[in-house]
A and B are shown apart, each in its own frame.
Chain A
């Protein structure tokens, strides 16, 4: 099976802009989770979607949002970007009690 794919792999944005990241899960997986990874805070959970519904939400401001489509593909959006949003954004695809990560999108905010 193909693994989790994330696009784009790299992004450079400026403060105040918004960004949309995309994740395609492993075929057959209905759960998609998003994480933010920074050197200072490590890996932190953003939110999880299952069958197009948000099932869990982490402790991030409302500028961070997501959605899932009927084919299980997911997008996350960050509005009004701040310098501190620079990070590796990881998507995880899962079923039952499993989570397989994609390669991530490296977002740099200038």
Chain B
């Protein structure tokens, strides 16, 4: 069964058009929820880790929030350089094993 589901699979935005990406999870005993950005042919770049419902973290135009069932990555006034695939992952057991969602491919047009 799917433990981590991201939506939408792809998202096209105009520059400056704010939106949100969704990551829903079904694991119990969540230890951490991670957000990464990945550019084509490169390794994922760490953005945030959220640990408990109600937690929020921000970095430049990105803000991540967490509830008991899902996380949102809000992108405010995006720029073309924000175009990338955004991945979320959950950590639910001992150690650093991550279970990833399928990702959201974001395209920001100037």
| Residues in A lying within 8 Å of B, measured CB to CB | 4, 31, 33, 35, 42-45, 48, 50, 55-56, 58, 88, 90, 92, 94, 97-104, 106
What's the dominant secondary structure at chain A's contact region? Answer: strand
Total A-B residue contacts, Cβ distance less than 8 Å: 66
Which of these, A55, A88, A102, A106, contacts B95 with CB under 8 Å?
A55
Least CB distance from B66 to A in Å reads 14
For residue A45, which residues in chain B have a CB less than 8 angstroms away from its CB? Answer: 97-99
Q: Of residues 17 to 53 in B, which have CB atoms within 8 Å of A's CB atoms?
A: 31-32, 34, 36, 41-46, 49, 51
**Nearest CB in chain A to that of B36: its residue:** A101
Q: Please count how many residues in chain B sit with their CB below 8 Å of the partner chain's CB atoms.
A: 26
Which of these, A33, A50, A97, A104, contacts B43 with CB under 8 Å?
A104
